[in-house]
Amino acid sequence: MTLGIGIDTGGTFTDIVIIDLKSEEVLRKSKSPTTPEDLSIGIRNAMSFLDRVLLTHVSVVSLSSTLATNSVVEGKGCRVALICAGSEIEKPDADEYVSISGGHNIHGGEEQDLDIQKAKRFMESVRGKVGAVAISSFMSVRNPEHENRLKKLADEILNVPAVCGHELSSKLGFGVRTSTCVMNARLIPVMRSLIDSVKKVMAEFGICAPLMMVRGDGTMMGESVAMEKPIETVMSGPTASMIGAVRMTGLKDAVVMDMGGTTTDIGILRNGKPALAPEGMTIAGRKTHVLAARISTAGIGGDSRIMVNGGKIVLKSTRAIPLCVAASRWPSVIDSMMSLPADASPDPEYPDDMVFLDSELFVTVGLPPSGIYVSPESRLFLEMASAQPISAIQAAEEMETYPSALDVRGLEARGYIQRIAFTPTDVLHVDGTYLEYAREASIMGARYLSRKCKMTIGEFVSGCRENVKAKLCTELMKVLLADEMGERPLDPYAAGMIIKSALGMTSSYGCSIRLSIPIIGMGAPSGTYVRWTGDAFGTKTVIDPHSDVGNALGAITSTVSESVEIVVSPENLDSPSSGFEVFSPEGKEVCATLEEAMRRAEEIGKSISGSRARRSGAADIVYEVKRGERYLPLRGMKVLVDCVMTVTAAGKPKAFDTQKL
C-alpha cells in the first residue's frame, strides 16, 4: 500500500488526510485550529491525532495553503529591489527601484544596450537592505537575454533570491508582468519559512517523503519550484477544494461551494477541472499574470457574526467564536449568558461598529508588540479579557468608562482580541441540526437576541436562516452570471429577484430561478446551508461524508503539471516568403517554413515543460499540446498573425519508496 498525506491550512482549520494513493481511499483524517502566527503549529497539532505507524509509510505529502494569498493582501514579505530595463514603472511596488536602458522589440531584437554598469552600482547600493530582487526587462518574453544577464549579476553581488519576469509569464504586458514579479520576489522568504517549518514537523513524525505544493490552478509543484514561484500558490486552498470535490463525487460539471468558518468559496467545474481566470488573477486590487481558478470568496461562513441592531437581524462578515464553541472552552461563558437581563428589548438603530451587545464577549488572543501604542483603557481591557471572556459593556462598567473608549474595533482588526458571538453554527445547534459543542450556550444566545427582535426563538432562528440563505444564493448567482456575462456589479433589481426566488417571497409578483448543474457542498457543518441553497434553486446538492476535509483530499489527489507557451509568428506579414520566428523562455529561433516552426515549437515546449515536471517530481509524464492561432485577411487570403502553442507535461507525483528505509 502506497500512502500519501494531504494538508490544507484554511482560515479557520488545518485539515489532514492520509489516503491510499492507488485507490484514493481516505484512511485517516484530522482537524486542528489554524495558527496564523505559525502555520506549522496547527499542522503539528492536526498530525498528532493520526496513526503514527501509518505516518512512517507515507511516500508523498502535498500542502495547500492560504499563506501566499494572505501575505499579499496583508502586505507581508521581505523588502524587494526592482530593476527595470527598457521601460519605467510609474508607481513601483518595491522598496528600492532603478530603471536602466535595455530591452528588446517585438521581434526579440535588442532595442538598447543594457546599462550593466548602472545596474551594478544600484545592486551594490542596496546590498544588505533587501531580501530579494525582481528583474523585469521590456519584451523579455520575446528575448530574455537582458533579464538573464541581470540575474547572473544579482547572484554575484546580492546573494539573495532573484526572479525574472519571463520566468513567471510569457504574456505580453510589461506593467502587469513586473507587478507579478515584485509580488513573487516578496513572497520567496515567506514560502521558504513555511516549507522549512512543514518539513521540520514531517521529520518530528518520522515522515521521509517529498513535499509538494498546490498551485492556484489545481496542479502540484515540487517544493524547490514553490520556493522560486510562491505567487503561483495564490488561491491554492480553494482550488484544492474543487479538485477534492471531483475526486469525492465524480461530477465533472458542477458548482462547488466550500463554506468554512470565515468565508464561502464558490467556483465552477467544467469537464472535471476548475474554470480558470485566463486573463490572470487580481490580488488585493492588483492585476497579475498568475493563472488560477476563478473563485469568488464571500464573507459568510459558519463563524460569521449574527447581531441585532434596531430590532433587526444583521449578518456580518466579521468572524467570531460561536457561543457553543466558546462555552466548550470557557465554562464562564455559560455564567455570562445566564446573567443577561430577562427583559431585553429592542435598542435604537446605531452604526454597526457602535453596537455593543451584552451577549457578545471578547477574549485576548495576542498582545501588541513592544513599541506599538495602545491606550491605557485598551491595555486594561486586554488584561481583563486574557483572564476570561468578558463583554465590552461589563469591562467598561468596571473601568467606569464608556465601551467606545476601549477601541474594540481597532483591537479586533489588529488581531489582539477575538469576538464571541451568535453565529450560523449556533443556529444549527439551536435547531438540533448539528450538536458538536455546548448547545445550551447557543439556545441562551438565541433567547436573548430574539427578545431584542420581539420574536419567539423559532422566529428568530428562522430569520437567521433566511439571512444566511439569501446571502449564499446571491453570491452563487453572482458567480454564475459573471461566468456568462463577465465581471460587473450586481444590479439592485437583479439582486432583489434572486432573493425573492431564494426565499419564495411574493408581493405583486413572484419569480423562480433553476440551476441546470448540481452543487457540491464542502465543509462541515456548513453543508446544511449549502443544501438549503440547492433546494432554493431546485437543483441537486451533493455532500460527501469526507467533505469536511475535501481541501486536503484535493491537495494530495492532484497531478504535477508544468506548462510553457511558445509563440510562432511570421518575420514579415507583408512577405509570404519570409521566415517564421519561434519565441520561448530559451530565446528566439527562426525557421524557414511554418511547418518547421510549429514542429520546432512543439519540441522546445516538450523539452522545457518535461524538464520542469521532472524537477517537480512527476512520474509517467504525458504531454498535451494546444494551439491558439490568430489570422488577418490580407490580399484576399488569411495570413497567420501568430500562434500561441501551450505545451503541458503532467504526471502523478513520484512516490518515495518507504520499503527501502
Q: How many domains does the chain have?
A: 3
The answer to whether residue 209 sits within a structural domain is no
Label residue 393 by pLDDT band (50, 70, 90): very high
Chain centroid to CA 49: how far?
26
Contact 292, 214 (CB under 8 A): no
Q: Does some domain include residue 348?
A: yes
- CB neighbour burial string for 82-105, b if at least 16 within 10 angstroms, e if fewer: bbbbbbebeebbbbbbbbbebbbe
Domain boundary among 190, 224, 241: 190
Q: Would you say residue 632 lies in a domain?
A: yes
Largest CA distance in the chain: 90
pLDDT of residue 525: 64
Between residues 37 and 8, the one the model is more confident about: 8
Q: Which of 143, 175, 190 lies at the terminal end of a domain, its last residue?
A: 190
Q: Which three cell numbers stand for residue 448?
A: 436573548
**CA dihedral over 139, 141, 144, 148, signed as positive or negative:** positive
- HEC string of 129-196 equals CCCEEEEEECCCCCCCHHHHHHHHHHHHHCCCCEEEHHHHCCCCCHHHHHHHHHHHHHHHHHHHHHHH
Within-domain flag for 104: yes
Q: Is 595 helix (H, G, I), strand (E, B) or coil?
A: helix
The string of pLDDT tens digits covering residues 473-522 is: 999 999 999 888 887 888 888 899 999 998 888 888 888 999 999 999 98
Across all residues in the chain, what is the average pLDDT?
Answer: 90
CA distance 64 to 77: 19
Written as nine digits, the cell of 497 is 429577484
pLDDT tens digit sequence for 54-112 = 998 899 999 998 888 878 877 788 999 999 999 998 888 899 999 999 999 988 889 99
Pair (438, 312) in one structural domain: yes
> Could you tell me if residue 363 is inside a domain?
yes
**For residue 503, what is its C-alpha cell?**
426565499
Beta-bridge mates of residue 634: 637
Write down the pLDDT at residue 372.
81
Within 273-407, where are the H helices?
323-329, 332-338, 376-387, 392-399
- Which residues are CB-neighbours of 184 under 8 A, at least 6 positions away? 134, 163, 168, 229, 230, 231
Do residue 437 and residue 564 come from a single domain? no
Q: What is the pLDDT of residue 659?
A: 46
The count of other CB atoms within 10 Å of the CB of residue 377 is 18
Phi, psi at 468, each rounded to 5°: -65, -45
Residue 316 shares a structural domain with residue 448: yes
User: Which range of residues forms the domain containing residue 575?
Assistant: 560-660
Question: Where do we find the cell 444549527?
Answer: 428
97: domain CATH number? Answer: 3.40.50
Residue that is written with C-alpha cell 517530481 in the block: 617
CB–CB of 113/223 below 8 Å?
no
Residues 311 and 179 occupy one common structural domain: no
DSSP 606-635: HHHHHHHHHHTTEEEEEEEEEEEEEEEEET
Residue 164 lies in a domain: yes
**∠ at Cα 532 (531, 533), nearest 5°?**
90
Domain assignment of residue 167, yes or no = yes
Q: Is residue 29 part of a domain?
A: no
| The last residue of a domain, from among 397, 419, 454 | 454
- Judge if 321 and 441 occupy the same domain: yes
Alpha helices, DSSP H, located in 222-351: 223-228, 236-249, 323-329, 332-338
- pLDDT over 80 (residue 237): yes
pTM: 0.83
